[in-house]
Structure 1
Amino acid sequence: MRFFYPLLALSALAAPAAQAQLTPEPTTSLLASAAPASETAATVVPTAPPENGAPLGLNRALAPAPAAKFKLTPDDPDKPSFIPVPIAFYQQETGFAGGVAILPVWRFGQDTAVRKSNARLIAWISQQKQTTVQLTHTIFTKEEKYFFSGELSYYDLAFKYYGRGNDTDEDVKSNIQYPLWVFDQKALVKVVPNLFVGVRYRLTDLGKVKLDDADAGNPAPYNSILAEQRAGYTTSGVGPAILYDSRDNVLATYRGNFVDAHMLFNGKGLGSDYSFTRYLVDARHFTPLLGSNNTILAMQFLGQYHTGNVPFREWGGMGATLGGSLYNNAYLMRGIYEARFRDRQFTTAQAEIRQKLFWRFDGVLFGAVGEVAPNLDDYTFDGLKYAGGAGVRFRFNRRDRLNIRLDYGVGSGGNSGIIFAVGEAF
Structure 2
Amino acid sequence: MRLCYPFIALLISLSCRVAAQAPVDSVTRSAAAPKREKISFFPIPIIFSQPETGLGYGAAILPVWRFGLDTTVRKSNARLIAWRTQEKQSLVQLTHSIFTPGEQYFISGELSYYYRFPINYYGTGPRTSRDDKSVIQYKVFIGQQRVLRRLKPNLFAGLQGRLTDLRDIQVNRDIERDGVVVAPSRLNERPLRERQNTRIVGIGPVLLYDHRDNVLSAYQGSYLEASALLNGGALGSDYRFSRYLLDARRYLSLDVNHKTVLAGQVVGQFQAGRVPFRELANLGGDKLLRGYYEGRYRDRQSVVAQVELRRQLFWRLNGVLFGGVGQVGNTLAGFDDGGLKYTGGAGLRFKFNRRDRLNIRFDYGVGRDGSTGFYFSFGEAF
- TM-score normalised according to structure 2 size: 0.91
Return the alpha-carbon distance in structure 1 between the equivalents of residues 51 and 324 of structure 2. Answer: 25
Residues 296 and 353 in structure 1, CA contact (< 8 A), matched pair in contact too = yes
Shift of 1:414: 3.2
Kept in 2: contact 1:116–1:139 (CA 8 A): yes
8 Å contact from structure 2 (residues 126, 338) kept in 1: no
Q: Distance in 2 between matches of 1:193 and 1:98?
A: 41
CA deviation profile, 1:350-381 (whole Å, cap 9, x unmatched): 00000010011110000000000000122228
Residue 214 of structure 1 deviates from its aligned partner by 9.9
Aligned to 2:46: 87
Q: What one-letter code is carried by the residue in structure 2 that aligns with 1:142?
A: P
Task: Specify which of 136, 148, 161 is matched with residue 121 of structure 2.
Answer: 161
- Relative distance call for 1:227 and 1:274 in structure 2 (3 A) is same
Look up the match of 1:285.
250
Q: Which sections of structure 1, spanning at least 5 residues, go unmatched?
A: 25-72, 322-330
Higher strand share: 2
Q: Identity of counterpart residues, as a percentage?
A: 50
Q: Give, in whole Å, the separation in 1 of the partners of 2:219 and 2:212.
A: 8
Tell me, in whole angstroms, the C-alpha distance in 2 between the residues paired with 1:294 and 1:91: 28
Q: Distance in 1 between matches of 2:299 and 2:47?
A: 32
Equivalent residue number for residue 116 of structure 1? 75
- Structure 2: gaps (5+ residues): 23-31
Q: Deviations over 1:58-90 (max 9, x none)?
A: xxxxxxxxxxxxxxx976353223342212235
Q: From the superposition, tell whether residues 111 and 384 of structure 1 become closer, same or farther in structure 2 (CA, over 3 Å).
A: same
Q: Whole-Å Cα distance in 2 between the matches of residues 341 and 214 of structure 1?
A: 18
State the match for 2:107 in structure 1. Answer: 148
In the alignment, what sits opposite 2:220? Answer: 255
| Amino acid paired to 2:258 | N
Q: Which residue of structure 2 lines up, in the alignment, with residue 192 of structure 1? A: 152
* Mapped partners of 1:241, 1:199: distance in 2: 6
State the one-letter code of the partner of 2:311: Q
Q: Shift in Å at residue 93 of structure 1?
A: 6.9
Q: How far has the Cα of 1:122 moved from its partner?
A: 1.1
Whether the 8 Å CA contact 1:4–1:419 is kept in 2: the answer is: no
Distance in structure 2 (CA, Å) of the matches to 1:200 and 1:7? 40
Structure 1 residues 7-406: aligned runs within 5 Å: 7-22=5-20, 76-90=35-49, 96-127=55-86, 129-156=88-115, 157-212=117-172, 218-321=183-286, 331-380=287-336, 383-406=339-362
Against the structure 1 CA distance between its residues 128 and 293, is the aligned structure 2 distance closer, same or farther, given a 3 Å change threshold?
closer
- Which of structures 1 and 2 has the larger relative contact order (alpha carbons within 8 angstroms, sep 6+)? 2
Pairs aligned (count)? 367
Deviation (angstroms), 1:159 = 1.3
Structure 1 vs Structure 2 CA RMSD? 2.2
Report the secondary structure of 2:216's partner residue.
coil
Match of 2:27 in 1: none
Does the 8 A contact of 1:101 with 1:122 survive in 2? yes
Identify if the C-alpha distance between structure 1 residues 99 and 276 changes in structure 2 by more than 3 Å, giving closer, same or farther: same
Given the two structures, how large is their TM-score scaled by the length of structure 1? 0.81
For residues 181 and 4 of structure 1, do their structure 2 counterparts lie closer, same or farther at Cα, with a shift above 3 Å needed? farther
